[in-house]
Amino acid sequence: MVLFSKLEIEKPSELIFGSAKHPLNYGFGLNVGKGEVIPEVKFFPRVFSDKDPEGFKTEVQTITRDILDRAVELGIPSLQIETELTFMETKNPRLAAEIASLQKWLMEKYFDEHGIKLGFRVTVADIRDFREGLRTTANYNLMMETFDAVSSNGADVLSIESEGGKDVFNHSIIRQDIEGIVFSILLASLDMGFIWKDIVNVARRNGCIAGGDTACAIANTAMKLAGGVKSMSLPHTLAAIVRAMSAARSLVAYEQGATGPGKDCGYENVILKAITGFPMSMEGKSSACAHSSLMGNIASACCDLWSNEQVENLMLFGGSAPQVFLEILHYDCKLMNRAIMLGKALELRDMLVLSDKYDDPQALVLSPDVAIEVANAIVSEYGDYYRRVKSACRKIVEILESSSPLRLSHAEARFLSHVKNIIDSLPDDGETFREQMCKTFTGKVPTFREKDYWP
Amino acid sequence: MVLFSKLEIEKPSELIFGSAKHPLNYGFGLNVGKGEVIPEVKFFPRVFSDKDPEGFKTEVQTITRDILDRAVELGIPSLQIETELTFMETKNPRLAAEIASLQKWLMEKYFDEHGIKLGFRVTVADIRDFREGLRTTANYNLMMETFDAVSSNGADVLSIESEGGKDVFNHSIIRQDIEGIVFSILLASLDMGFIWKDIVNVARRNGCIAGGDTACAIANTAMKLAGGVKSMSLPHTLAAIVRAMSAARSLVAYEQGATGPGKDCGYENVILKAITGFPMSMEGKSSACAHSSLMGNIASACCDLWSNEQVENLMLFGGSAPQVFLEILHYDCKLMNRAIMLGKALELRDMLVLSDKYDDPQALVLSPDVAIEVANAIVSEYGDYYRRVKSACRKIVEILESSSPLRLSHAEARFLSHVKNIIDSLPDDGETFREQMCKTFTGKVPTFREKDYWP
Amino acid sequence: MSEVSLLTKLKDAIVNLDFDGSKHLAQEALAKGIPPNEIITKAISSAMEEVGRKFEASEYFLSELIVAGEIGKEISQMLQPYMKDAEIKKIGKVVIGTVKGDLHDIGKNIFGMMLEAAGFEVIDLGNDVPAEAFVEAVKNHKPDIMGMSALLTVTMVEMENVIKELKKAGLREKVKVIIGGAPITEEYAKRIGADGYGKDAVVGVDICKAWIGKK
Amino acid sequence: MSEVSLLTKLKDAIVNLDFDGSKHLAQEALAKGIPPNEIITKAISSAMEEVGRKFEASEYFLSELIVAGEIGKEISQMLQPYMKDAEIKKIGKVVIGTVKGDLHDIGKNIFGMMLEAAGFEVIDLGNDVPAEAFVEAVKNHKPDIMGMSALLTVTMVEMENVIKELKKAGLREKVKVIIGGAPITEEYAKRIGADGYGKDAVVGVDICKAWIGKK
Ligand SMILES: [Zn+2]
Ligand SMILES: [Zn+2]
Ligand SMILES: [Zn+2]
């Protein structure tokens, strides 16, 4: 296990798009984090029946070819394609393998014919059924089989959006229950420790890269609930706090041996890039096709891959939606890469950062200086899953309270001081906390079982 | 008639996004060209029958509300909405008026409730039937009636994509016939002189703004035919030349009294901004939903409004397509506006410019320095529709030949010298040219009739 | 402490989301002999109204509304053993569910919770509810109101289908229909023939209360 | 000038897109008594092949292919009065059109022009052609080949419909079907049961020539 006890990137000026301390080289000549931002395009197939694997294969093939054709038309030099397997595909390792090898074959063809550099990420769905338990169930084994199938059939990078702790989180977030949220992130960390050990083993066995995880089920749920600037569904400060805390959870993949590139929808990747020095995929403005956010520009400030998150294969006037979003990503990347070439990357980064930073607490978290502070708070408690979540929380609350010109409403300010009180009242050690929380949530959240996390 | 005999913006450093020499103020508090780039969002309704005007109204209302809701969620301070009337709507002035006033009513509501500044452009379709003739036909009168109806029912800005000369152009462009293309642009200029006099009168009568026209039917047809970087359908240098020449045509609207903001899909607007000093709408990267282009970033370098061109009202995961593209435009604008606030607009502009400039001849034309050279070539022949087209052509050929690091293929270089020969062989005066060309095209292009342009 | 000031304190405790405090004050009120019915109307219901007002005024978050709703519900349950059967009677009956194809339920759950806090009996059919199940539930439970929610545009069309099926079964006139969810609009509700549209849970509950009041 | 070098010069003139030069050289060839048939095969057709090769090699643009096609066509028409009836016979007959709903025709026009230059008789149904019109044309003109084009994804589905209608009318086996247009792919052509897919006009004409050759 790798323990990150200090930051790999300590200076805010070095936490920047297109450059990571530990770049990666894989696929057909792709260099990630080595002075260039690369578009990572992701699609959602239009297949209306789960019972039609052949239709699925044809659809994925068409989409992949469309994407590669547009890339050639635009003269895109480097590209990553992500295939996020559906439940149906994940439950069918043979189908997943066929799809992966079909896509890889197409990529090889375009690399040979057009010289376009290509990387291929496959994200496996977390198909575990919380009612059955999280470890060593039939679904767990099937999921690992699928990791094995795709990594031995063309995937360059493996990822997952693992969902440990999600039931407790869902219960807690809509009640603003800080204790419950901290507990759910602790659970998520423990779960990741388990599954990422297995994923890293599969990746090593098949000579491919263990990418990273995302706190999608946690932090992005909070982001979506928080909604627009005027929405009062959830405090935006709470969404910001959850984001900061979730970095402590997503870090576990790298502790288990993952090396990046981290997965796009983990907005906490900025913090993780500071800690690990690994390249990261991010999404923001150009993933509006998948969900709205209040951090469209600042999300790109430190990315190495720049993603559209997910778009259904609909036809727009300008081509299929994956083609259209690839084109938009391409121009975003072109701008960043030109800035790098002109030696003005830092200036562009700061424009991107400042265009969002003070408009919403969630954006503030992604600012390189803030991310580094939170990263430090996390590594200062390295090795302790519980204490580092608390530490991230305390740090981000402190930052949010003192970040003018960020303007917080009366309700947000009231909520922040509530969080401070709760955090200060939590026990020092994880054992006590575990006991309290297991008592609280056993029964209350029907799918939660202590032994899924402490077997 | 206004004659532009010199440039309103002479220095390349002053040809820049968010700032025009003659800003405009209209709608609900909107300031265009006065230190801020504003998103202009445009949609295409999903109505499957032209015989369903009620369905149309409901659809436009829903789309408008969706757009305004997303704008409020994102905290967008200023926004322009463009409604481009379909043929069906243009042929039904009462329906067009109802739709315009419905949209305007919604805008007023959101302005009152949320303080969002709003402008409203209505673009009327060119419904003329070339077989019937271009002037004083029933369709022409209907079109003017619709201009009157929308401008007296809420439109702040009037536009059209007028199509004079399009038949001769279509015939000529696929044959690379330079003479025919020059002639078609001359015809387009004459046609614009006629219709824009009427549009400006309608606008003045109703106290609204005559915006501008676009060489969509000419220069964008060439752009679409030229296609991707490797496409050999049409020389990309030809598409670039057509773009430069088309500025001489689109200028006519402003000579007749239009004041901008010029219409989005006129990529020649950069040149027109230099000549007139009026604010311009542009489209590029974020209009990939409507069509692909090789100038996604550079197109934004001088815009005052930033548009998505056109998107069908499909549902994506992140909301309706108009909402999604508004969000993308918003973040583009936010970045440019932050650069302005930081005093770094010129630096960002140059990154945008250089990211595309030398990748395709069409992009080169949009570079501020090049645009100003072309603009000078046009105004040096002010008042002569024919000679200024030739002058623009000669200038852009000269620039394309000497613009390293722009790399032209053998075939492109061969084509460029062909154009130079042709242009040099054309007669000096428009009268001779007119006689030659009318003889060539009468009969050959069945819908072309001299008296539509020289009555 | 006077009865009035005790109930006011209880109300404030709920508004301040103080679970333990509310519980103690409710027990104190019971001990003082205040009728459970009065505790519910004068403290719990009015606390819920106040919280709803604060939410509408952007002082409270939706999540705080939920917590208040849960406190209100627990205290009501605590009071039940002390109430006569007649008093337990709910003010109305509502069947709710998320339509077929839609697996999102947060909005519907909040709505259900707030309805209960407002005194309604709620029958929750869950997520991904097929049209037949809605029709069956209306037939069997004879609710005053049926509520449907959808979070996705692709599933919202199912609402129209449910209403059609209700008509076919001859039940449409027996029940008020209210719909809600992110993609829903007033126009859509009208178009498919629903009786009401709740733009959020607070508004939805207000509409239901108004319908019951008029009966 | 020898016959061979004269025909070579004519061929070169066409390849160089020199309209006037080609016309003069063709007249000269006629005057020298070279049979029109030979002028067509040895100069015009081989010029078209050369231009096609240059296009495939990215030396010529599609627009230059069109100009060459037009020159070839005009010269062929100039030669017709000097040919015996038997010699005018075309190598095959093709019905082409853009499917219903689609108003774009540049691709189809180029294809038609190149087919004619290659010696085919072409019946162009125009744009926005309904399925019945395709069926009627196949019934009446008895072409060897039917070509459909679509520029829009929304209209390309109409191609499948036309093929279905052909089958219904019992004509599917009487004609080869080729399709093309921006949104079309090899897979799509296979899926809807077309015989061939022309990714551009040059490839399309090659396929048609191969089909005719095999007959
Ligand atoms: Zn995700
Ligand atoms: Zn246009
Ligand atoms: Zn346009």
- pLDDT digits 0-9 by tens, B69-106: 999 999 999 999 999 999 989 999 999 999 999 999 99
Which of C55, C63, C109 is closest, CB to CB, to A176? C63
Determine the residue among B113, B355, B367 to mutate to test chain A binding: the one whose Cβ has the most chain A Cβ atoms within 10 Å: B355
Find chains touching chain D: ≥3 CB pairs under 8 Å.
Answer: A, B
Give residue D7 CA to ligand 2 midpoint distance, Å. 47
Distance from CA of A58 to the nearest CA of D (A): 9
Cα separation, B167 vs B130, in Å, equals: 8
Once rounded to an integer, what is the mean pLDDT over residues A5-12?
97
Q: Report yes or no: B413 at the D interface, CB cutoff 8 Å.
A: no
Neighbouring subunits of A (3+ Cβ pairs under 8 A): B, C, D
Supply the pLDDT for residue C86. 59
HSE, side-chain direction, 13 A CA sphere, residue A388: 26
Locate B243 and state its tokens: 């773009």
What integer pLDDT is reported at residue C103 of this predicted model? 62
β-sheet bridge partners, residue A226: none
Bigger pLDDT: C202 or A49?
C202
Question: Residues of B with CB below 8 A from A314's CB?
Answer: 314, 316
Question: How confident is the model over A245-272, as pLDDT tens digits?
Answer: 999 999 999 999 999 999 999 999 999 9
User: What residue of C is the nearest CA neighbor of B55?
Assistant: C191
Average pLDDT over residues A83-99: 94
Q: Tell me which DSSP letter residue B409 carries.
A: P
Mean pLDDT of A49-53: 77
pLDDT at D96 over 80: yes
Looking at residue A391, its pLDDT comes to 98
Residue A445 — φ and ψ, nearest 5°?
Answer: -105, 105
Closest chain A residue to C54, measured at CA: A411
Q: Which of A123-137, A199-213, B128-142 has the highest mean pLDDT?
A: A199-213
pLDDT at B430: 95
At residue D17, what is the residue type? L
CA D101 from chain centre, in angstroms, equals 23
Ligand 1 centre distance from Cα of residue A220 (Å): 7
Residues within 5 Å of ion ligand 1, judged at the Cβ atom: A 161, 216, 265
The identity of residue B348, as a single letter, is L
CA angle A257, A262, A265 (to 5 degrees): 140
Q: Which residues surround ligand 2, an ion (CB under 5 A)?
A: B 161, 216, 265
What is the pLDDT averaged over residues A109-114?
96
Q: How does residue B451 score in pLDDT terms, banded at 50, 70 and 90? A: very high
Q: Which phi and psi angles does B303 have, rounded to 5°? A: -75, 155
Q: Tell me the percentage of chain A whose pLDDT exceeds 90.
A: 93
Chain B residues touching D67 at Cβ < 8 A: 175-176
D62/B411 Cβ within 8 A: no
More confident position, D194 or C40 = D194
Give C130 to chain B, closest Cα distance, Å.
23
From CA A181, how far away is CA A377, in angstroms rounded?
A: 18
Q: Does C153 contact chain B (CB < 8 Å)?
A: yes
Confidence of residue B244 (pLDDT cuts 50, 70, 90): very high
pLDDT value at residue B42? 97
Q: Which amino acid is at A383?
A: G
CB C142 within 8 A of CB C110: no
The tally of CA atoms less than 13 A away on the side-chain side of residue A296 is 29
Residue A117 binned pLDDT confidence (cut-offs 50, 70, 90): very high
Q: How many residues does chain C have?
A: 215
Tokens for A298, please give them.
């600042």
Q: What is the mean pLDDT of residues A146-175?
A: 96
Q: Which residue reads 């792709």 in tokens?
A: A30
- Residues in contact with A184: Cβ distance below 8 Å, sequence separation at least 6, in sequence order: A165, A166, A168, A169, A172, A218
Give residue D104's pLDDT. 62
Under DSSP, the state recorded for A312 is B
The model's pLDDT over B170-224, given as tens digits with 9 standing for 90+, comes to: 999 988 999 999 999 999 999 999 999 999 999 999 999 999 999 999 999 999 9
Mean pLDDT, range C44-49, rounded to an integer: 84
The alpha carbon of residue A278 is apart from the nearest alpha carbon of chain D, in Å, by: 40
The predicted model gives A111-125 an average pLDDT of: 97
Residue C35 has which token pair?
């009728």
Choose between A47 and A43: higher pLDDT.
Answer: A43
* Partner residues linked to C178 by β-bridges: C147, C196
- Asked whether residue B151 carries a pLDDT value surpassing 60, the answer given is yes
* pLDDT at residue D13 greater than cutoff 70: yes
Is pLDDT at B160 greater than 60 in this prediction?
yes
List, for residues D26-47, the tens digit of each pLDDT value: 999 999 989 888 888 788 888 8
Q: Which residue does chain D place closest to A316, by CA atoms?
A: D153
Q: How confident is the model at residue C175 (pLDDT cuts 50, 70, 90)?
A: very high
pLDDT over 60 at B265, yes or no: yes
Q: Write down the pLDDT at residue D100.
A: 85
Between these two residues, B403 and B369, which has the higher pLDDT value? B369
Q: Please tell me the predicted confidence (pLDDT) of residue C122.
A: 92
> Could you tell me the two tokens for D60?
């010529």
What is the per-residue pLDDT across C86-111, written as a single tens digit (0 to 9) for each?
566 778 999 999 998 766 666 787 78
pLDDT in tens, A63-75: 999 999 999 999 9
pLDDT band with cut points at 50, 70 and 90 for residue D88: low
How far is residue B266's CA from residue B282's CA, in Å, rounded to a whole number?
A: 7
A231, pLDDT greater than 80: yes
List the one residue out of D67, B411, B236, B261 whose CA is nearest residue A73: B236
Please report the pLDDT score of residue B441 as a whole number: 97
Return the minimum-mean-pLDDT range out of A351-360, B29-38, D64-73: D64-73
Confidence (pLDDT) at D102: 66
pLDDT score of D103: 63
Predicted pLDDT at D1: 66
Mean pLDDT computed over B296-301: 98
Instruction: Over range A296-322, report the average pLDDT.
Output: 96
Beta strand segments in B216-350, E: 281-283, 305-307, 315-316, 319-320
Span D94-113, mean pLDDT?
80
Looking at chain B, how many residues does it have?
455
Give residue-wise pLDDT tens across range D114-163: 788 788 899 999 888 999 999 999 999 999 999 999 877 667 888 999 99
Task: Collect all residues of chain A within an 8 Å Cβ-Cβ radius of residue C64.
Answer: 176
Rounded CA gap, A254 and A260, in Å? 8
State the Rg of chain A over Cα: 21
- Rounded average pLDDT over A167-177: 92
Is the pLDDT at D182 greater than 80? The verdict is no
Can you tell me the distance from the alpha carbon of A315 to that of A324, in angstroms, rounded to the nearest whole number?
A: 9
D9-24: average pLDDT: 93
User: What is the band of C156 on the pLDDT scale with cuts at 50, 70, 90?
Assistant: confident
pTM of the model: 0.88
Lookup: tokens for B208 = 């609204």
What kind and span of H or E run contains B25?
Answer: strand B19-26
pLDDT digits (tens, 9 = 90+) for D38-76: 888 788 888 888 888 888 788 999 888 888 888 888 888
Using a CB-CB distance cutoff of 8 angstroms, which residues of chain B are in contact with residue C154?
A: 315
User: What span, in angstroms and rounded, lies between the C-alpha atoms of B102 and B62?
Assistant: 11
Before A405, cis peptide (omega within 30)? yes
On the question of a cis peptide bond just before residue A361, with omega within 30 degrees of 0, the verdict is no
pLDDT for the residue A233: 85
Per residue in B333-353, pLDDT (tens digit) is: 999 999 999 999 999 999 999
Q: What is the DSSP string of A390-451?
A: HHHHHHHHHHHHT-TTPPPPHHHHHHHHHHHHHHHHS-SSHHHHHHHHHHHHBTTBTT--GG
pLDDT at D21: 93
Beta bridge partners of B78: B117
Q: Say whether B402 sits in a helix, a strand or coil.
A: coil
pLDDT band at D86 (very low <50, low <70, confident <90, very high): low
CA separation for the pair D86, B392 (Å, rounded):
53
- What's the pLDDT score for residue C106? 66
Predicted pLDDT of residue A166:
94
Q: B72 — contact with chain A (CB < 8 Å)? A: yes
Q: How far, in Å, from the CA of A44 to the mean position of ligand 1?
A: 13
| Predicted pLDDT of residue C1 | 66
For residue A160, name the pLDDT band (cuts at 50, 70, 90): very high
Over range A362-386, report the average pLDDT: 97
Contact B339 A351 (CB under 8 A): yes
Q: Which of A29-38, B308-317, C107-116, D112-121 has the highest mean pLDDT?
A: A29-38
